[in-house]
Amino acid sequence: MAPTAAPSLRSIFLAFSKIGLTSFGGGLSGWLLREFVQRRAWLTEQEFLSGLALAQAFPGVNVVNLAIWIGFRLRAGPGAVVAALGMVVPAMAVAMLLVALFSQAADSHRVHIALAGVAAAAVGLSLQTGLRAARHAAQSWARTLIVVATFAAIFVWRLPLLWVVGAMAPLSIALAWGRVRAEDARA
């Protein structure tokens, strides 16, 4: 699906507020993908996944970084500010209210069961987004080896994340650089 015209700042704020207010327990990247790529067609899937990779490379909360990137991509600086505010402020207000209410029901077994169910759904959303990202990243044998090696280093061998990223990011960047240079030479 092709991206549509740039949305208004109000539309960006409302879209991010909706995501921030309706997605619980993590998996926000999956919600953002559905909302901005599949439902609204404001970005292509490749643009979204590029932004997700960039958001994960920067310090801070990945989903806020991604909101800033999407907002900037859609409407430059004002879009970035509006997207970040839309993602954070309404959800923060609701979270503060829920914390006050939860402190009253913290000992309820049913509340803990409900939260475990929400967490399971969030893991499923994160897995769906991760599999999409892996599919796009693994478009050659070398890139597939980097994906597999990174996964194995972190989840199988339990190596420190910073060391793995520190080793694999330069390899991946060099591979992408070589691919771009080869494409430029052919053009």
Q: Where are the domains of the chain?
A: 1-137, 139-187
The pLDDT value given to residue 176: 83
The pLDDT value given to residue 25: 59
Per-residue pLDDT averaged across 68-77, rounded? 97
- Of 102, 176, 116, 183, nearest to 142 by C-alpha is 176
- Of 102, 103, 100, 50, nearest to 73 by C-alpha is 50
pLDDT tens-digit map of 99-148: 888 787 777 888 788 878 878 887 887 888 888 888 887 788 888 899 89
pLDDT tens-digit map of 80-91: 999 999 999 998
Taking only Cα atoms into account, the Rg of the chain, rounded to an integer number of angstroms, comes to: 19
